[in-house]
Amino acid sequence: MSRASAAAAPPRRAIPTLEVLLSMMERDGNSWFANYRGIEIRSAFQPVLSVSHAKVIGFEALMRARTPKGEALPPPLVFSLARRHDEAVLLDRLSRAVHVANFADQGGEIGWLFLNVLPQILEASWEDAVFAEHLIQRFNLPAERIVLEVLEQPATDERTLARTVDAFHSKNFLIAIDDFGSGFSNFDRIWSTRPDIVKLDRTLVGRLTQRNSDHELMRHLVSMLHQAGTMVLAEGVEADGELMALMEADVDFVQGYWLARPHFSLTRAQASALERAPLLWPMFASHSARVPHLPAIRFESFESTMTAAALCYSRDGDLARAAAIVFEVAGARSVFTVDEHGVQTQDTVSAPLEAGPRERRDAAKRRLAPLLEGSPGNWSRRAYFKRAIAAPGRVAVMGPYFSLTEGKGCHTAAISVQVEGRTMVFCADFVPNDDGVEMDAVDSD
């Protein structure tokens, strides 16, 4: 296409059609580009790696913009030039058209193509699903190869955004929520749009190598996203420590300078990634060997102890006597009982502690006084209660979960027994320590 035709802009308030956008594009060697207000817009591609498979499963298309003098411009600055909605639509669609053309023209036969899209565009223009479908049809790409990344920015009408996302899903496009963990992030958009992938923001990933960073929190976040039915991609991965922490957290995909820098050439970008991908699992094996793990939790002896203590309690209802049996096991912290409805029937019996631990426990109890005083608790929602009721006579062990009184991971074991003709659930909390808690997790989680 000629440079003269590329300069022909649509009417100022016209919603740009695919033909208009194609008229603004040119081909330079093996690369497509476009001009917007004198700014040259090109594509760069960064590989996305599947951690489990240690292979490239797609590329994110990134805008590379330059002034007539060759000065690089960041994409947010380019989009700031589009002050009206129709111009924002034009620029958003134009950049996607350039990326799709380059991906298809360079033989993009590997995995997904990730394309950024502003939420304001989807929110106010449900026809965008039709435009996107026409765009990929022009370049012979199936919809299931395209992942639309909705930037984690506020939208004035989240319901309309959700309907537009539904329209994309109905046409077999994949949807990703981008920049999760940045300032605007919350779960509302995940619940309303049901994305296929959530991308963790670089700022969140970067915290993993900071002092006192909480890797357990990252594991819980990834677990929550998985339970919400979405895959998790961590972007901006640059350091070995970040990568190892993300692998421990069970993220599905990674992207960043550790793997490969963006490149105009798909072939070059992929080649860089293929050099790094084989290092992934050997590095993790070495990392796992160096990092101290929680002591192995073997529940064999504890299961017999819990059974003996529960039988003791069933004979005379003396909770303190039964608790003394449990406290012979290292790591046991407290014992309590609940009835068949999950309601706690007696005060919790705590293990005797030395001076230092006792002081910490007393301080924790003072902080938690509103929870520990007054009416009994109902623990019928807890998994250990449900499992104990479902399998009478068997010890169910659940956890770990964070204990406010211990400040670390805590497990709860439970077994149902008959006490004077009533079903009771005998429970014990324990914290694995350096001495090891030898238990056999028959029903552990």
Domain ranges of the chain: 3-290, 300-430
Environment class of residue 192 by beta-carbon count within 10 Å: exposed (0-12), middle (13-18) or buried (19+)? middle
DSSP 8-state class, residue 147 = E
pLDDT for res 441: 38
Bond before 400 cis per omega within 30 degrees: yes
Q: Which of 144, 218, 215 is nearest to 181 (CA)?
A: 218
pLDDT for res 190: 84
pLDDT for res 14: 61
* Residue with token string 């070495």: 286
pLDDT for res 9: 43
Environment class of residue 135 by beta-carbon count within 10 Å: exposed (0-12), middle (13-18) or buried (19+)? buried
CA–CA separation, 398 and 403 (whole Å): 13
The CB density around residue 298, as the number of other CB atoms within 10 Å, is: 14
CA–CA separation, 382 and 362 (whole Å): 25
CA–CA separation, 98 and 21 (whole Å): 9
Domains 3-290 and 300-430 in one fold = no
pLDDT for res 184: 57
> What sections of 249-399 are H helices per DSSP?
266-276, 280-290, 300-316, 319-326, 355-367, 369-372, 383-390
The CB density around residue 55, as the number of other CB atoms within 10 Å, is: 16
* Residue with token string 């669609």: 93
CA–CA separation, 330 and 156 (whole Å): 56
Give me the DSSP letters along 173-242.
-EEEEEEETSTT--SHHHHHH--SEEEEPHHHHHGGGSTT--HHHHHHHHHHHHHTT-EEEE----SHHH
- The series of mean pLDDT values per 10 residues for the chain, 445 residues long, is 41 70 90 94 96 94 94 92 85 95 88 87 69 94 93 63 84 90 70 89 81 73 89 94 92 96 95 95 90 56 88 94 92 91 90 66 64 72 93 88 65 93 93 50 40
One of 3.20.20.70, 3.30.450.20, 3.30.429.10, 3.50.50.60 is the CATH number of 300-430, namely: 3.30.450.20
CA–CA separation, 165 and 390 (whole Å): 41
Instruction: State both tokens at 365.
Output: 């109890």
Q: What is the pTM of this model?
A: 0.76
Q: Which of 72, 65, 59, 62 is nearest to 37 (CA)?
A: 65
Question: Which residues on neighbouring strands pair with residue 58, listed in sequence order?
Answer: 48, 112
Q: Which of 31, 41, 114 is nearest to 75 (CA)?
A: 41
- Give me the CATH code for the 3-290 domain, please: 3.20.20.450
Instruction: State both tokens at 280.
Output: 């992934």
Which amino acid is residue 339, in one-letter code?
D
Q: Which of 138, 195, 148 is nearest to 173 (CA)?
A: 148
What sign for the dihedral angle of Cα 123, 126, 127, 129?
A: positive
Q: Which of 314, 317, 298, 292 is nearest to 430 (CA)?
A: 298
Gyration radius of the chain over CA positions: 29
| 308-to-6, 109, 326, 393 alpha-carbon distances in Å | 83, 63, 9, 11
CA–CA separation, 334 and 352 (whole Å): 9
DSSP 8-state class, residue 299 = -
Q: Which residues contact 232 (CB under 8 A, 6 or more apart)?
A: 197, 198, 200, 222, 225, 226, 250, 251, 252, 253
327 with 352: CB under 8 angstroms? yes
65 with 75: CB under 8 angstroms? yes
